Amino acid sequence: MIRTLLVRGLLVGLVAGLIAAVFAYVVGEPDIDRAIALEEAAAAAESGTAEGGHSHDEPLVSRPGQRFGLFLALGLYGLSVGGIFALAFAGLRGRVGPRSEGALAITMAAVAFAAVVLFPFLKYPANPPAVGDPETIGTRTTLYLVMVLLGLLSVAVAVTSANRLSGRGPAVRRTVGAAGFLIPVVAGLVLLPTVDEVPAGFPGTLLWDFRVASLGTQLVLWAALGVLFGILSERAARRTGLGAAVRAPVPS
Amino acid sequence: MSDLTTSAPISLPALSRWLLAVPVFLLLAYLVTFDQGVVSQAGDYLHELMHDGRHLLGVPCH
């Protein structure tokens, strides 16, 4: 059973990653190209000065190579996320959340998107090339991971506290669950240090477009993961349900 | 979608063996998102190859 779920998660994750890569290729790549052009123009303007970090001047991988790498990166990322999703689904199924497997898969994907993508994004949004100081990459990575972990922990707190109140009505449990998620996450949004490293003169529309493309890529990935995993699970459940009905027509 | 697909929970001891796979998945995600050549010998190459994906996944990058 767990093996079936894991294989389903890996396959669906890979497919979801590739669907997201198609979206990213169409919507996000033009913005990356524009940002790299700006980065190179800025580097050319101050030619002669040494560059820190990794530059795009003498590429280890060509731009077409990086565009191909987009599919590799998102495919592998989808595989990883799909595997973890399947194991979480195996643990939660029949214990927490909606009884319908399809509804559980979609709910899990939506909650994971909010916790792992949306809230970290609100605090530390995605940045195109040319935005961000290479000196602070360590700090920015740590802060970003703190936000992701805070999102996951908040979900755990919300679900656990809502489950403790099993005697209460659904309205109370929902309110407690929402508060359990939102209070720590909003505290993180307010209290964690702000990162402001957009270079002067960087076009605001390009920054916005890139960030929308980035959020859209993640949204497509998680939506595809939840919906496809849900459809396959429903189908499998109906098949085993039918099989059981055929084998044992009279319930004992 | 039907509301009738209530399944019995999978026993936690059975599940715990499979949780060993989680670090493997996390390592894979790490290679895509944060690796700067720390883990893999081909790190720089992989890092540059997956450059666009990392930016669009919203992970901090240079």
Q: Which pLDDT tens digit goes with each residue over A133-157?
A: 888 888 899 999 999 999 999 999 9
Dist CA B57 CA A95 (whole Å): 31
Q: What is the pLDDT of residue A167?
A: 83
Q: What is the pLDDT of residue A191?
A: 96
Q: What is the pLDDT of residue A192?
A: 95
Closest CA in chain B for residue A99: B6
Token couple for A125: 């949004």
Between these two residues, B44 and B2, which has the higher pLDDT value? B44
Between these two residues, B46 and A106, which has the higher pLDDT value? A106
Chain A contact for B32 (CB, 8 A cutoff): yes
Q: What is the mean pLDDT of residues A96-107?
A: 92
Q: With contact defined as beta carbons under 8 Å apart, do A230 and A106 qualify?
A: yes
DSSP 8-state class, residue B61: -
Check: pTM over 0.80? Answer yes or no.
Answer: yes
Q: With contact defined as beta carbons under 8 Å apart, do B61 and B55 qualify?
A: yes
Q: Do A61 and B51 touch (CB under 8 A)?
A: yes
Q: What is the pLDDT of residue A97?
A: 85
What ranges do the domains of chain B cover? 15-56
Q: What is the mean pLDDT of residues A121-140?
A: 90
Q: Which residues of B touch A61 (CB under 8 A)?
A: 45, 48-49, 51
Q: What is the pLDDT of residue A198?
A: 92
Q: What is the pLDDT of residue B37?
A: 52
Q: What is the mean pLDDT of residues A67-83?
A: 95
What ranges do the domains of chain A cover? 1-38+65-127+201-252, 132-197
Other beta carbons less than 10 A from residue A91's beta carbon: 19
Examine the pLDDT at A247 and tell me if it is beyond 60: no
Of B22, B31, B52, the CB nearest to A84: B22
Chain A contact for B25 (CB, 8 A cutoff): yes
